[in-house]
Amino acid sequence: MDTLAHLDGALFEAVQRDGVFEDSKTFVDSVPQTAPDEICRQFESRRHDRGFDLRSFVEEHFRLPQTAASGVPTNADTVDEHVRQLWPLLVVEPASIAAERGSLIRVPEPYVTPGGRFRELYYWDSYFTAEGLAACGQLDRVENLVENFSWLISEYGRVPNANREYYRTRSQPPMFASLLEVLERERGFDAVEPYLPHLEREYEFWMDGRESLTDAAASSRRVVNLPEGTLNRYWDDAATPRPESYREDVALAERASERDAADLYRNVRAACESGWDFSGRWCRDDDLASIRTTELVPIDLNATLCGVEWSLAQWYDVADDADKAERYARAATDRADAVAEYCWDADAGFYFDYDVPAGRRSEKWTLAGVSPLFFGLADDEQAAAVADALESKFLREGGLVTTLTETGEQWDAPNGWAPLHWLAVIGLERYGHDDLAREIATRWIRLVDDVFERTGKLVEKYNVEDISLRAGGGEYPLQDGFGWTNGVTVALKERFGCERPAAA
């Protein structure tokens, strides 16, 4: 029996192309009530019957997914209390997941979902959620996340984008080391040491193919060889329409008919691995039809991987493994030097992605440039220049705008995102720019509080330029719940002297 037969073939294409559901993700998250291959056979035998209704057929044979804590009212008067009440509503218990059928990968421990249409365990989201869980005293939830990610790495060699079968061909920004740092901060090194082999294995996933690269400008999957060092890019092992956005991807390929469809799909998927899906950052001319994610060496990915290398070096030093400590320290130093060479623009005073085919830095200003401060790659002069740029170019009434261009994509102006605010604030504090860090955090918290007072919701993203308006853009409506907004906001409140949320 093919337990995923409904994710491909005639039934899948009919449902997705005909727009049976407003959100393309609905069908791929639905759970077949009987054997999927048998459902597909029934569809083939009935689809041409007079009066056949595709929506009714799907509802007859599938259990449709529910949104996670979307629009759920609480009796909270404050954001802190609202978040405390939301945490249990966002938790998925593994025992509640059917052992067969459906696209969900069953992980061993309970996990916190982002909310809304995002009903599963997302990778980089979970680090920012964990900071909030730690601020709320829910360390057991942080430990659950660590266990689930270590299990996924054991099973697949990496943490997929999320625990869905259709996400297995890509990962997300590798924040497992940062998640382990939350655990170490609260529980000490002994709590982290058992997971070092898993962190190493994930690192090897990102570096897979580097030994085969001999030319100075060669690339293999996620690895890019450059004359002054080896860096990384985002990638996806598939080059087909995304099942969860099939209709949108096919329509984009039809609009970009002059372009090789497989190349387009690969670059769309690679942008999804970045977490920035989507942004003019990845496009040649701010139109998604020109997306070229795999041609860019992203500053945030390489800063993150440098952080992984430094974490491994430090932890193996504590574990008295001098050989591994030295190896990872050397890798981190080499990467930091390459990042400085290819991504730092001294004239602009900011970090940019590197455009490999053009042989120069991208000219697009994005908040990805704060990542070297968060992970400690910058020197004091570089950090001061980045701080100046944040204040003069990115700071708005509601916090930091994601990019300086408005394209209609959600990871561009006028939107601001919780994870990028956390990276910026912590990065600025790391280099002593405490006043600016506090100002950014204060503006963000004020915006989140204001929207909550007006709507009773914490949402996925915010309009930081006109705080009276909702954030928009992207493939789906604004989602509420919302994991990383909850996490970052309560963690920032705790950090800057606001009342600590009570433990649930």
User: Comparing C-alpha atoms, which of 179, 207, 31, 197 is closest to residue 106?
Assistant: 31
Q: Are 488 and 422 in contact (CB under 8 A)?
A: yes
Question: β-pairing, 395-396 with 399-400?
Answer: antiparallel
User: Distance (Å, rounded) from C-alpha 132 to C-alpha 489?
Assistant: 7
Q: Which one of 181, 249, 309, 460 is the catalytic residue?
A: 460
Of the chain, the end-to-end C-alpha distance in Å amounts to: 43
DSSP string spanning 181-203? HHHHHHH-HHHHGGGHHHHHHHH
Q: Are 307 and 206 in contact (CB under 8 A)?
A: no
User: Distance (Å, rounded) from C-alpha 5 to C-alpha 32?
Assistant: 10
Other CB atoms within 10 A of residue 139 CB: 17
User: Comparing C-alpha atoms, which of 226, 204, 426, 423 is closest to residue 312?
Assistant: 204
Which tokens belong to 98? 């059917």
Q: DSSP secondary-structure letter at 86?
A: H
User: Distance (Å, rounded) from C-alpha 404 to C-alpha 465?
Assistant: 11
Q: Which one of 202, 236, 277, 494 is the catalytic residue?
A: 277
Rounded alpha-carbon distances, angstroms, from residue 284 to 186, 259, 287, 294: 44, 13, 7, 12
In the numeric block, the tokens 């996620």 are attached to 222
Q: Could you confirm whether 93 is annotated as catalytic?
A: no
Other CB atoms within 10 A of residue 51 CB: 5
- Compute the Cα dihedral for 228, 230, 232, 238 and give only its sign: positive
Q: Could you confirm whether 18 is annotated as catalytic?
A: no
Rounded alpha-carbon distances, angstroms, from residue 203 to 117, 140, 331: 30, 25, 12
Rounded alpha-carbon distances, angstroms, from residue 42 to 39, 46, 48, 116, 146: 5, 6, 11, 32, 42
Catalytic residue list: 277, 460
